[in-house]
Amino acid sequence: MRSLTAALATLLLLAPAALADSPIAGGSLFWENDAFAAFSSEGDKSDDKYTNGVRFTFNIDPERYRIDGFMDRFCRGFCAEGDPDCTRNFCRGIDPRSSVALVAGHNFYTPEDIENPNPQPLDRPWAGWLYVGALGVITDANEKRQDTFEVQAGILGQGAGAGRLQTAIHKLGFSKRIPAGWSNQLENEPALNLLYDQSRRYGNANLDIVPQAGVVLGTIQTYVHGAATVRVGWNITGFPVALIIPSVTSLEQEKPRWEAYVFAGGDARLVAHNAFLDGGLFRDGPSVDNRDFFVHDIRAGLSVRYKRFRLTYSHIRRSEEFEPVLASSGVHEFGSFMIGIEPPPRKPIGEQ
């Protein structure tokens, strides 16, 4: 655990400098791991269920890469006829702003007994998911509504490299438990996910509530979800950093220099397909019986921003995703760190 903490501290120190010197307009690093669950009731047990996830988001400078009009055309393509200002229908609001980002991520999932080299049909499959994608965000000027779109494409299975990565990390001293069952993981297959999420914000700079709703369609996961987050703090701006879809700032006005708040919320999902439990769509492989179609998360944490630099910690408690046979409970807890540089202010759509 000390080594893992040291690695995290190094990333948190180096990431801002790397982003600041790069040609991108901003970005973020997400790292989720069950070892980061500061208040876990699971004790020292880790490296099972959803055990690790890393995600990078790189905001694109529209002027540098000559895509100034992309989000303008995208927004207006969904607007009602006769609405040149894009204020009704899909893009409601006054003078919406837009952001575009590239994303890359890597997740892996394991059964409880990672030292068992044999198939474990009564527990969740070994699975890795490596992807790249693009993210688009439209936010109204008053920060009352935000629409987020994302497309992810990648590989599920051995080609994701989760087995090699986890084994190497553990052998470096991050854990005494060496994974031995990755030969039983899901088979290789291409994967595609499409995500849409809408957030509304009600409140002020010291207290707000942000309900969210969205849908995910794809070969990795298909579900609808609803969520809500309450934030209390100082100079609160923008929208919460979601577990599934990170917020991307896209406003024109300058923000206060300092911002800090604590938050708590929940996310409920009706899941029609989850490749990490049901197996892949195109190749036979391990799966679980008695998967739960309703899953929920409870989360709480702290977020601090100085100028454009933001650091957020979240503690997440996830309900059972399937009825466990070998364990007393399938409830899982993990932590999430995010460090990022928010993009600079943007002009309204149509003035890019």
- Of 95-99, 180-184, 336-340, the least confident: 95-99
SS3 content of the chain, % helix, strand, coil (to 5): 15, 45, 40
- CATH class for the region spanning 2-63+94-341: mainly beta
- Residue 317, strand partner residues: 298, 333
Q: Are 312 and 320 in contact (CB under 8 A)?
A: no
Lookup: tokens for 221:
């996961």
Q: Which of 247, 240, 265 is nearest to 315 (CA)?
A: 265
For residue 216, what pLDDT is reported?
A: 96
Q: pLDDT tens across 129-152, in order?
A: 999 999 888 777 778 888 888 999
Q: Are 75 and 46 in contact (CB under 8 A)?
A: no
Q: Are 232 and 262 in contact (CB under 8 A)?
A: yes
Q: Distance between CA 276 and CA 267 in Å, rounded?
A: 19
Q: Is the pLDDT confidence value at 163 over 60?
A: yes
For residue 190, what pLDDT is reported?
A: 95
Q: pLDDT tens across 50-89, in order?
A: 888 899 988 876 666 666 566 666 666 655 555 555 555 4
pTM assigned to the model: 0.84
Q: pLDDT tens across 278-291, in order?
A: 998 888 889 998 89
